Amino acid sequence: MLPDLPLLTLPTAAATDPDAPRLLILYTGGTVGMAVNRNRELVPMHFGKLDRKMPELRQLPYRLELLTLPQLIDSSNVTPADWLRLAQLIGQHYADFDGFVVLHGTDTMAYSAAALSFLLEHLGKPVVFTGAQVPVGRPRSDATRNLLTALEIAAARHPLAHAARLPEVGVFFNDILIRGTRAKKVESQQFAAFKSENYPPLARAGISLTFSDNDIRLLPAGRLRVHTRLEEKVAVLRLFPGITEAVVEAVLGVPGLRGCVLETYGSGNAPTAPWFLASLGRAQQRGVVILNVSQCEEGRVVQGHYETSARLSSLGVIGGDDITTEAAITKLMFVLGLGLPEAATRQLLSQDLRGEITP
């Protein structure tokens, strides 16, 4: 059980209105939480003064509370333990809030959003990840716009169903809302940092918010279940022309390895060299689960379409369809962490769990 972390109430126009949506901002770290000091250096901002940096927050018709992690995380240092902690924090406060906004560094935001998607089973409320490319307080910062819109999404109710408009994990950045299991960071110098891969955006922000309700997952039938285990003994092996047997063996031969995401060419194709196929076969015999994901940003894995992928199917490699690498590695951690028999594990990896695969 996590210790209770203090919540800070932020002043807003609806701070004392018991009927206003109640939202929790989870501040984990990242550029969005940096500010410029007197020496023009970037330093972590004290988020208790968030309303001073973003006076627009005071006009919002929501009740806002802020929870700051005791030790802020540079997103390059994020670990599965951090994902488990975030999931538990959302579970701990789930009944008390209408929606959640997670402020997170951009470098690994797509991984974190995918991981939370799997860990929060039967999620019926919005969990919106957002951040910034330019810190708040700097000219032309995107921090305020991203946060304000993420809060609006987290508070949105369906006009007909009288329920959350977004009952799933999403990533909002630069005017588009992306499903958590479809996000990919594609830009480090422009504001459009994220792309929705193989799936349309769930909403767009112009003068007003426009939701694509037909693309948003339906409300779950069950109650929220927060999973508490992820298998960390996994790896990603990206193929390239000239890859050697030593490199493949170094990855697949890691002691205790449980699973590997194999990034192949095109629609799931890989070398047919005898040594390569033998390496895959030995890994399978040791119980390593191999999930085939395409290196292409669009399209899907179709094992057996070419001879160069048919061999993978015969070796027991699982086709990942149109899943992203970010969702594939976190899904592998999640499914292996369930501790199920091999047949059930392979079945779950093959099917869509959180909108990460297009049926």
Which residues are the active-site residues? 31
Residue 93 backbone dihedrals phi, psi, to 5 degrees: -110, 10
Cβ neighbours, 10 Å, residue 121: 17
181 and 356 Cβ atoms separated by less than 8 Å: yes
Strands 176-179 and 203-205: antiparallel
198: left (phi over 0), alpha (psi -120 to 50) or beta: left
Contacts of 81 (CB under 8 A, 6+ apart): none
String of b and e for 254-289 (b: at least 16 CB within 10 Å)? eeebbbbbbbbbbbbbbbeeeebbebbeebeeeebb
For residue 48, what are the CA distances in angstroms to 9, 58, 67, 256, 313?
A: 9, 14, 10, 44, 54
Tell me the H-state helices in the chain.
Answer: 50-53, 80-93, 109-119, 143-155, 245-252, 274-285, 307-314, 325-337, 342-350
**What is the rounded distance in angstroms from the CA atom of residue 79 to the CA atom of residue 85?**
10
105 and 165 Cβ atoms separated by less than 8 Å: no
Using N-to-C axis directions, what is the helix angle for 325-337 and 342-350, rounded to 10°? Answer: 150
5 and 28 Cβ atoms separated by less than 8 Å: no
